[in-house]
Amino acid sequence: MNILMISSTFPYPPTKGGTQGRTFNLLKNVVKHHAVTLITQCSADVTEAEIAELRQYVEELVIFPRPEPTEGGLVPKLQRLGQFLTTGTPPNVSFLYSREIQAWIDQRVQEGKFQVITAEHSVNEIYIRPEWRKQIRTVIDIHSSLYRTCQNQLETKTSKNELRDRLYLPLLRRYEQQTLDKFGNIVVTMDEDAQQMRSFAPKGQISLIANAVDLDLFPYRTKDPGGHNLVFVGGLDYFANIDAACYLGGEILPRLEEKYPHVTLTLVGSNPAPEVLALAQNPKITVTGRVPAIVDYLHQATLAVIAMRTGFGMKFKTLEAMAAGVPVVASDRGLEGMKVDEPLSAWRANEIEEYIEAISRLFEDADLRATLSHNARQLIEQEYTWEKSSSEYEKLLSGNLV
């Protein structure tokens, strides 16, 4: 089949994780069986080498420039809200919209070039016209719900603009409900999203295809380094990771230092925000910025602590740490979509006292660390590999999986 995949995020290299990692790893398997055209947008940090490498995977790579960030200030914000109210399209979706991309897609659909079109992440739904559903298999791979993400920020009081998000929430609900009507197949990454989408589209064909890990990039560590060294991994310019890093470094670590004077924390991730960089004023905290290989930092850590208080969806950082054999202490948000309690594959903690107890137990019990490490790797190998998830996605695109 000829398949068009639409991704406003340039999905390479896959080591970036998130939307890029999911899109690339699903694509990598689909291209083995079908002719794939990928249309995407490039920001200034994408290199010519990365473009050349991605081009090798697909039948055709079509690239358009990614828009520059919009200006701040009260007037532009009010304009964006007004636009949302009148058009029904969220600002972060309309911001990425390109008339040139729309014209390119419209022309190819009119020519009958594709049998399947996928919107990789819900923001790409904007290019899909409702009437296409009658002639083409249309698939939306949601990655994470915009409505549930906004709702979660309000519930956890981690919204940067509570008034705006309270205004946006009912609009986002209406937007997602209307969006789903355009698609013959709806793909989500975890049960909670599936339940949400079923409430929005009771008659929709909804499939759960989990996020996963490349086991070659995240091999199981050969030894437990011991010590009292914590690690947190994630893009440190993303609001949910910024909040987690600051919570871990600013509130949890000082309590741990009272019991373990030699405890350290390494924050690994690209483009650290100013508030994350400020944490390095504590000599026990290292902020690395982007690194060549995340797995090296995971293997050197005693524990991975994923103290997420917001951010909706299945977390790559959790899957990768578990694959690497690093015992994980994480919040319910950090463990979303995963069954880790029986057998115990990661330790849940949501309050500071729970983190202190869990980390202390694991610092002091090498056998318990070994149990979590073994169970976590086994769970990943059984349930969360890209071979498994991408095979399910390819079957769905072929019409063999509902």
Stretch 51-60: mean pLDDT: 96
Q: How confident is the model at residue 401 (pLDDT cuts 50, 70, 90)?
A: low
Looking at residue 76, its pLDDT comes to 72
Has residue 233 got a pLDDT over 90? yes
Query: Does 78 score more than 80 pLDDT?
Result: no
Q: Which domains does the chain have, with CATH numbers?
A: 2-210+385-398 (3.40.50.2000), 229-383 (3.40.50.2000)
The rounded percent of the chain whose pLDDT value lies above 90 is 76
How does DSSP classify residue 252?
A: I
What SS3 class is residue 264? strand
**What is the pLDDT confidence band of residue 72, given thresholds at 50, 70 and 90?**
low
Predicted TM-score (pTM) of the model is: 0.89
pLDDT in tens, 317-359: 999 999 999 999 999 999 998 999 999 999 999 999 999 999 9
Q: ω into residue 13 within 30 of 0, thus cis?
A: yes
Q: Is the pLDDT of residue 402 over 70?
A: no
- 206 pLDDT above the threshold of 90: yes
> Per-residue pLDDT for 77 more than 80?
no
Can you tell me the mean pLDDT for 215-241?
94
> Does the structure show a pLDDT above 50 at 151?
yes
Mean pLDDT of the chain: 92
Of 226, 229, 303, 305, whose CA–CA distance to 260 is shortest? 229
Q: How far apart are CA 262 and CA 189, in angstroms?
A: 39
Q: Is the pLDDT of residue 144 over 90?
A: no
Please check the confidence at residue 382 and state whether its pLDDT lies above 70: yes
Closest CA to 148 of 92, 192, 205, 201: 192
**Residue 396 buriedness (CB in 10 A; 0-12 / 13-18 / 19+):** buried
Q: Which two tokens stand for residue 291?
A: 């690194």
Query: pLDDT band at 71, cuts 50/70/90?
Result: low
The rounded distance, in Å, linking the Cα atoms of 324 and 182 is 39
Cα distance between residue 254 and residue 107, in whole Å: 59
Give the tens place of pLDDT for each residue, 280-330: 999 999 999 989 899 999 999 999 999 999 877 889 999 999 999 999 999
pLDDT of 156 reads 80
Among 3-17, 214-228, 235-249, 340-354, which is the least confidently predicted range?
3-17
What is the structure's pLDDT at 13? Answer: 85
pLDDT tens profile 100-121 = 999 999 999 999 999 999 999 8
Give the model's pLDDT for residue 95.
87
